[in-house]
């Protein structure tokens, strides 16, 4: 009998909440994390098995942080993903700084499980990329190096916008569903906003996640995530760039690091530019996905 469960195109999971770069305006608010928290391994296994009940397969799984290489059980998470979803394109999303310190055994497991690195191309990464490349090449581990990350983007509004539908249509991250601790969210912004709330005493909505153990089907999840959700009211219709800066820990961060200012550039020009970028960004993502399947 044909499997009636849908395919989930993409899911990302933070196996480490904290980071060794602490970028200003981190989209996952990792630089605001006070405790060195990991995704508890048994919960990870349980949650991914539940995903396999809801979906016939997952096309792409990205293990993220924070910085995922800070999790000492990194390879255990990789092996679980490969066992449960044998055809998935599994990626470790890393700034790469700790790759030269990975053991031969860790790299062997990564290579054996056909797991690749997505290396975020930050300025500190570029300074030591030769060493990173050498370590991966000698271990026959595949990787993709991202575009130079010289800029980050502000995306939050301090008051609700009047066109959440347009914010959703313009957003290039509507596919970035995030899973942790039994909850699946439409995007990483909505999933991680609680860190911002707790750091600055704010009350952005934290209600967009779906309990994957509730009475829900994979089809219903995909349908809900294909429409604007509550958090879209607080996303700008276009993101506003600022120059990348590392080392901005919770003590140095301010809520303005994420907030879009009310001016012509942010309210008119940025939405226009992002609306133009949405289609080519989606096409590029689809092309990359086909290339790796």
* Percentage, residues of the chain above pLDDT 90: 76
Section 113-127 average pLDDT? 97
Give me the residue label for tokens 């301090």.
Answer: 158
Tell me, yes or no, whether 273 lies in a domain: no
* pLDDT tens for each residue of 47-84: 999 999 999 999 999 999 999 999 999 999 999 999 99
What residue numbers bound the domain in which 206 lies?
A: 7-151+174-228
Dist. CA 148–CA 131, nearest whole Å: 17
Tell me, yes or no, whether 36 lies in a domain: yes
Tell me, yes or no, whether 164 lies in a domain: no
Tell me, yes or no, whether 278 lies in a domain: no
Contacts of residue 80, defined as CB under 8 A and 6 or more positions apart, other chains included, come to 44, 45, 48
* Percentage, residues of the chain above pLDDT 70: 89
Tell me, yes or no, whether 251 lies in a domain: no
- Token couple for 288: 């990359």
3-state SS assignment for residue 182:
coil
Tell me, yes or no, whether 221 lies in a domain: yes
Exposure pattern of 139-171 as b/e (b: 16+ CB <10 Å)?
eebebebeeeeeebbbbbbeeebeebebbbebb
Tell me, yes or no, whether 93 lies in a domain: yes
> Residue 279: pLDDT above 90?
no
The domain total for the chain is 1
Q: Is the pTM of this model over 0.85?
A: yes
* pLDDT tens for each residue of 198-252: 999 999 999 999 999 999 999 999 999 999 999 999 988 777 889 999 999 999 9
Q: Please, where are the H alpha helices in the chain? A: 41-54, 74-84, 104-112, 123-127, 129-139, 164-170, 188-200, 218-225, 264, 270-291
Tell me, yes or no, whether 156 lies in a domain: no
Dist. CA 135–CA 103, nearest whole Å: 10
Give backbone dihedrals phi and psi of 58, rounded to 5 degrees, phi first: -125, 130
Q: What pLDDT is recorded for position 268?
A: 59
Which CATH number belongs to the domain containing residue 103 in this structure? 3.20.20
Q: What pLDDT is recorded for position 161?
A: 86
* pLDDT tens for each residue of 162-201: 888 888 888 877 889 999 999 999 999 999 999 999 999 9
């Amino acid at each position: 009998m044909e499997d009636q469960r849908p395919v989930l195109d993409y899911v990302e999971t933070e196996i480490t909440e904290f980071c060794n770069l602490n970028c200003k305006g981190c989209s996952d608010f990792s630089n605001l994390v006070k405790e060195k928290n990991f995704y508890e391994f048994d919960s990870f296994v349980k949650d991914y098995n539940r995903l396999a009940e809801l979906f016939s397969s997952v096309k792409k799984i990205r293990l993220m942080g924070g910085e995922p290489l800070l999790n000492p059980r990194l390879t255990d998470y990789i092996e679980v993903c490969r066992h449960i979803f044998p055809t998935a394109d599994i990626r470790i999303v890393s700034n790469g700084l700790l790759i030269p310190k990975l053991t031969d055994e860790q790299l062997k497991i990564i290579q054996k499980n056909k797991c690749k690195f997505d290396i975020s191309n930050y300025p500190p990464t570029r300074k030591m990329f030769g060493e990173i490349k050498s370590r991966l090449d000698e271990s026959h581990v595949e990787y993709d190096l991202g575009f130079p990350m010289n800029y980050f983007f502000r995306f939050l509004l301090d008051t609700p916008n009047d066109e959440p539908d347009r914010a959703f249509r313009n957003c290039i991250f509507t596919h970035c569903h995030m899973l942790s601790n039994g909850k699946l969210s439409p995007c990483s912004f909505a999933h991680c906003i609680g860190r911002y709330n707790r750091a600055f005493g704010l009350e952005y909505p934290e209600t967009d996640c779906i309990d994957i153990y509730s009475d829900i089907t994979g089809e219903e999840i995909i349908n809900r995530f294909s429409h604007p959700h509550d958090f879209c009211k607080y996303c700008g219709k276009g993101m506003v760039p600022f120059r990348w800066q590392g080392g901005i820990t919770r003590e140095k961060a301010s809520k303005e690091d994420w907030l879009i200012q009310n001016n012509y550039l942010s309210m008119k020009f940025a939405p226009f530019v992002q609306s133009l970028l949405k289609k080519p960004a989606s096409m590029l993502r689809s092309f990359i996905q086909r290339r790796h399947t």
